[in-house]
Amino acid sequence: MAYTPWLLPAFLCMMCPGHAWIAGNFLMTGSKAYLTYAKSLQVGTQSGIEECKHQFTWDRWNCPESAVQLKGLRRATRETSFVHAISAAGVMYVLTRNCSMGDLDNCGCDVSRNGKIGGQGWLWGGCSDNVDFGERISKQYVDAQESGQDSRAAVNLHNNQAGRLAVKATMKRICRCHGMSESCSVQTCWSQLSDFRGIGDYLKVKHSQAQKLDIDKKRKRAGNSAESRGALVDAFGSVPETELIYLEDSPDYCKRNISLGLYGTEGRECVQHGEGLTQWERRSCRRLCHECGLRVEERRAEVVTSCNCKFHWCCKVNCDDCSQVVVRHVCTRREATEGHALRRRHRGPK
Ligand SMILES: *[C@@H]1O[C@H](CO)[C@@H](O)[C@H](O)[C@H]1NC(C)=O
Ligand SMILES: *[C@@H]1O[C@H](CO)[C@@H](O)[C@H](O)[C@H]1NC(C)=O
């Protein structure tokens, strides 16, 4: 895997030019532990980002690189809440896996419940994934990115935690039968991480249900003061830890505005027909093109592949070249000559 340094949160940027001060920070706050987990932090963050890109493939906002820098252009929208949650979850996930795989000296499986009755007909046993370890280290390093005391930092920390809770909420119980030849009179069970896709799917639903935090404007403007912290405590009190929250409405993701890190949907690909598409996918052209005032352009490309391959004894394979037309659909600007040029049919930020 290749990593573009600017894509990574600052804590992974020890080797990046101009970021020496961050490395210095960590050198002072326990670099030995940091170095032990550096690879896992990097892999975890990267898998979070990849999952984000997968989950938002057919959304107007598709998790662009500008959005996955955890420092810099800071906003607290519904989308940044997802980036925070999935990154924190990714780090926790990889560390938990590392632990169960025996990659790390200082942790292993969670066997604390082994031998105890879990439910009717089953006992805890085997190697349960040690999520508490992963959670602790993720908290320590990912949450350290939020140095601020303002409402935005508090929202980011809340969303990090919601991501970690998603890892726990999606865990599965796996059981093995014991007893006289498969009678399964006794089972031992352990809890295991879901695959990471399951966590991404779970958090995508949380994204769609994210709640806007209503912080009193006047108190919010108070900045760092006790007044503003009081407003925060009031506002957070009503939101469960598992839910994603945001402060600002999403910008119009149809529109391109590079200085805001927005690319717009012009040039994006969408899907129209095809088997096994979900409703969300089938509506992608409407969402990305039509509702953004763009039209769908069909682009055909000829792709040459090998086909009709025959095996000749021994050992030769002869194939024909077959050309196949591949159709892609891309959002493009309406021509100015079209009567309905630039009439936007945009509804909502999706
Ligand atoms: C943790 O797991 C990841 C891949 O899942 C691997 O790249 C990394 O090296 C592991 N960490 C350690 C300390 O072995
Ligand atoms: C981009 O957004 C900024 C801030 O809202 C605004 O001032 C600027 O005019 C926008 N640029 C374009 C090209 O829309």
Q: What is the pLDDT of residues 59-83, one digit of tens each?
A: 999 998 877 765 544 688 999 999 9
Q: Please indicate, yes or no, whether residues 217 and 285 belong to a single structural domain of this protein.
A: no
Using CA positions, which residue lies closest to atom 3 of ligand 1?
Answer: 40
Q: Please indicate, yes or no, whether residues 193 and 264 belong to a single structural domain of this protein.
A: no
- Is the CB of residue 97 below 6 angstroms from any atom belonging to ligand 1? yes
Q: Please indicate, yes or no, whether residues 346 and 208 belong to a single structural domain of this protein.
A: no
- What's the domain range around 294? 254-350
Using CA positions, which residue lies closest to atom 12 of ligand 1?
Answer: 103
- The count of domains in the chain is 2
Mean pLDDT for 24-37 is 56
pTM above 0.85, yes or no: no
Domain boundary at 250, 282, 313, which?
250
- Choose from 82-91, 214-223, 257-266, 333-342 the range with maximum mean pLDDT: 82-91
Q: Please indicate, yes or no, whether residues 266 and 152 belong to a single structural domain of this protein.
A: no
Q: Please indicate, yes or no, whether residues 297 and 183 belong to a single structural domain of this protein.
A: no
The residue ranking higher by pLDDT, 209 or 275, is 209
The residue ranking higher by pLDDT, 199 or 106, is 199
pLDDT surpasses 80 at 28: no
Using CA positions, which residue lies closest to atom 1 of ligand 2?
Answer: 257
Q: C-alpha angle 20/163/74, rounded to 5°? A: 45
Q: What's the 6 CA to ligand 2 centre distance in angstroms?
A: 23
Q: What's the 349 CA to ligand 2 centre distance in angstroms?
A: 17
Q: Please indicate, yes or no, whether residues 98 and 207 belong to a single structural domain of this protein.
A: yes
Using CA positions, which residue lies closest to atom 12 of ligand 2?
Answer: 257
The pLDDT assigned to 19 comes to: 37
Q: What's the 103 CA to ligand 1 centre distance in angstroms?
A: 7
Domain boundary at 235, 250, 265, which?
250
**CA 99 – CA 109 distance, rounded (Å):** 7
**CA 231 – CA 350 distance, rounded (Å):** 29
**CA 12 – CA 48 distance, rounded (Å):** 14
The pLDDT assigned to 222 comes to: 54
Q: Please indicate, yes or no, whether residues 308 and 243 belong to a single structural domain of this protein.
A: no
Using CA positions, which residue lies closest to atom 9 of ligand 2?
Answer: 257
Q: Please indicate, yes or no, whether residues 171 and 37 belong to a single structural domain of this protein.
A: yes
In this structure, the number of other CB atoms found within 10 A of the CB of residue 236 comes to 16
Q: Which atom of ligand 2 is nearest to the CA of 262?
A: 1
Beta strands 294-312 and 316-333, pairing class? antiparallel
Q: What's the 257 CA to ligand 2 centre distance in angstroms?
A: 6
What CATH number should be reported for the domain holding residue 303? 3.30.2460.20
Q: Please indicate, yes or no, whether residues 15 and 92 belong to a single structural domain of this protein.
A: yes
Domain boundary at 189, 216, 250, which?
250
The pLDDT assigned to 47 comes to: 95
Q: What's the 101 CA to ligand 1 centre distance in angstroms?
A: 9
Least confident of 3-7, 126-130, 162-166, 220-224: 3-7
